[in-house]
Amino acid sequence: MAWNEPGGNKNPWGKRPGQDGQNVDEAFKNFQRKLESLLKGGSGGGASGGSGGSGNDGSGSMLALVGLLAVAGWVYMSSFQVGAAERGVVQRFGAYVDVREPGLGWHWWPLERVTKVNVSEVRSLEYKSRVLTADINLIEMSLGVQYQLRDPVRFLFQIREPEQTLREVSESAIREVVGRTRLDDIIVGNRQEITTRTRDLIQRTM
């Protein structure tokens, strides 16, 4: 007898017609409920708060990193090293404040700045000049001046153009010394005396 004839109560698989569809519907509904519960849990207050906290933590970490880098840069710009042959002249708003000895130092950057001056280096200045002797002879002399900067404050603040000033003072000194000396004394005389007199005059003038 066919399973769908009147009076038949069983199908070939031992299940009533429509039972498979009900099972599938029920399974789908169960899956849908579980999915909705998962989605509600993921978008609920706890998950939302966690997401917001993560964003705040990220922003706070970025700000902390930027602040740390800014502080590190300021510390780097505010510290300085003065060499053994140098002196560090500290200026605040352009005005002289202090002279720092060799070693590590600290100043308030950018309100202050440090200018390092080498006080041990022997510097040279050479030039030629035509001068008149005491007996009216025109001679050409080569002059070489060696000097050191003993006072960095005077070097930076009391002379506008130190090297040009030294050149002019040296030329004036050699003209005065040679102008009081005869040609023979310059050629065959004691040149060391002329050198000493010129050096002393340059030093007094400077």
| Residue 31 in this model has a pLDDT that exceeds 80 | no
Encoded tokens for 169: 């003072």
Q: Identify the residue with better confidence: 199 or 29.
A: 199
Q: What is the pLDDT of residue 116?
A: 94
Q: Identify the residue with better confidence: 54 or 187.
A: 187
Are 114 and 158 in contact by the 8 Å Cβ rule? The answer is no
Are 139 and 147 in contact by the 8 Å Cβ rule? The answer is no
Task: Say if strands 123-132 and 112-118 run parallel, antiparallel, or are unpaired.
Answer: unpaired
Q: Phi, psi at residue 135, to the nearest 5°?
A: -100, 30
Q: Identify the residue with better confidence: 110 or 55.
A: 110
pLDDT band for 56, please (50, 70, 90 cuts).
low
- Note the pLDDT tens digit of each residue in 107-150: 989 899 999 999 999 999 888 888 999 999 999 888 889 999 88
- Note the pLDDT tens digit of each residue in 159-180: 888 889 999 999 999 999 999 9
Of 77, 68, 35, 198, the closest CA to residue 131 belongs to: 198
Q: What is the pLDDT of residue 47?
A: 44
Residue 141's SS3 state is strand
Q: What is the pLDDT of residue 143?
A: 84
Q: What is the pLDDT of residue 46?
A: 46
Q: What is the pLDDT of residue 43?
A: 47
Residues of 123-135 as b/e, b for ≥16 C-beta within 10 angstroms? eeeeeebebebee
Taking the chain, what is the end-to-end CA distance rounded to the nearest angstrom? Answer: 136
Report helix angle 191-205 to 162-179, nearest 10.
Answer: 140
Q: Which residue in this structure is represented by tokens 């510097």?
A: 123
How confident is the prediction for the chain on average, in pLDDT? Answer: 80
- Note the pLDDT tens digit of each residue in 78-102: 999 999 999 999 999 989 999 999 9
For residue 188, count CB atoms less than 10 angstroms from its CB and return exposed for 0-12, middle for 13-18, buried for 19 or more. Answer: exposed
- Note the pLDDT tens digit of each residue in 65-78: 888 998 889 889 99
- Note the pLDDT tens digit of each residue in 32-49: 666 566 555 544 444 444
Q: pTM for this one? A: 0.55
Q: What is the pLDDT of residue 113?
A: 92
H or E stretch covering 169: helix 162-179
